[in-house]
Structure 1
Amino acid sequence: MKKWFVALAILASGCSAYREQEAIFVGYNTSNDNVVVLVNDGAETPIVANRSIQFVVQILVPNNPVNTVNGPSSIDKQVQVSIAFRNLRTGRLTSPIFCNAGAKVVTTVWYRVTVGGYDYAECNSSYGY
């Protein structure tokens, strides 16, 4: 009986509509406070004040549907991810934004603060460096 469940689990994992993929991010913190960047409300990466960092996040990418044109490109497998920053000194969280991420693109994210103290996130995706 135990072998049956193991075989079923292996079969089910191979038929998943999604697969994990590494997405490369470059984060810039243009403020004087340390921040944490949150990707898809899960992965947290700290960025110290006035610095940048490169990091990798595991994202779920849908497999191409059969006989349809829906779904991500078979070349770059880009998907949209949610990005937000949390200021570690004030505890404030920026409004989340959506950015493209994938295995063959580099997603660049910025934490910015205006002269008036308003903090926000920006992003851009490009192929390679």
Structure 2
Amino acid sequence: MRKAFLFVALVLAVAGCSRFKMEEATFVAYNASGDKAAFLVNDGTEHVVEANRSAQFTVEIPIPTQPVYGYTSPSASVDKTTQVSVAARNLTTGKLTRPTMCTAGAKVVVHITYEGRDYVSCQSSY
């Protein structure tokens, strides 16, 4: 009985101390170039978008669980954001853009634009 209690207490302590939780973030990628491109978030899975098209996809990202600036209101706990790295790969040339940092979160839609140059731009809407 005592061993079971210690095991449960240990599991709860470890699970409760996590500083991050995984949340689904929404991304809308705009490929304004004449070539097919793949978008990468945090160097993860590539999301392919045809030339001159857009596509929406979700990515699981780690969101901090600690209160933001000491606020404990409901909105402070659900509107948390984090910075993610976004890049695009031109699938015709194989060239990868330099990464750009964007703000993402569970209630944030990140709009990414690739125009066929050496960079991507992003804008977050709440």
What's the TM-score bracket when you normalise by the shorter of the two chains? 0.7 to 0.9
Identity of counterpart residues, as a percentage?
Answer: 49
Structure 1 segment 40-79 matched on structure 2, within 5 A: 40-65=42-67, 69=69, 73-79=76-82
Q: For 1:70 and 1:101, how far apart are their aligned partners in 2?
A: 20
State the Cα deviation string for residues 72-94 of structure 1 (Å, max 9, x = none): x4341111100000111111000
Task: Give aligned pairs, total.
Answer: 118
Aligned to 2:125: 126
Structure number with the higher helix fraction is 2
Residue 42 of structure 1, CA deviation: 1.2
With over 3 angstroms needed to count, the CA separation of the structure-2 counterparts of 1:125 and 1:87, relative to structure 1, is same
**Structure 2 unmatched runs, 5+:** none
Q: For 2:60 and 2:122, how far apart are their aligned partners in 1?
A: 18
Aligned to 2:97: 94
TM-score, with structure 1 as normaliser: 0.79
CA-based RMSD of the aligned residues comes to 2.4
Q: For 1:105 and 1:18, how far apart are their aligned partners in 2?
A: 17
Q: What is the one-letter code of the residue matched to 1:121?
A: V
Q: For 1:95 and 1:30, how far apart are their aligned partners in 2?
A: 17
Q: What SS does structure 2 have at the residue aligned with 1:24?
A: strand
Aligned to 1:35: 37
Q: Post-superposition, which runs of at least 4 consecutive aligned residues in structure 1 deviate over 6 A? A: none
1:19 aligns with 2:18: no
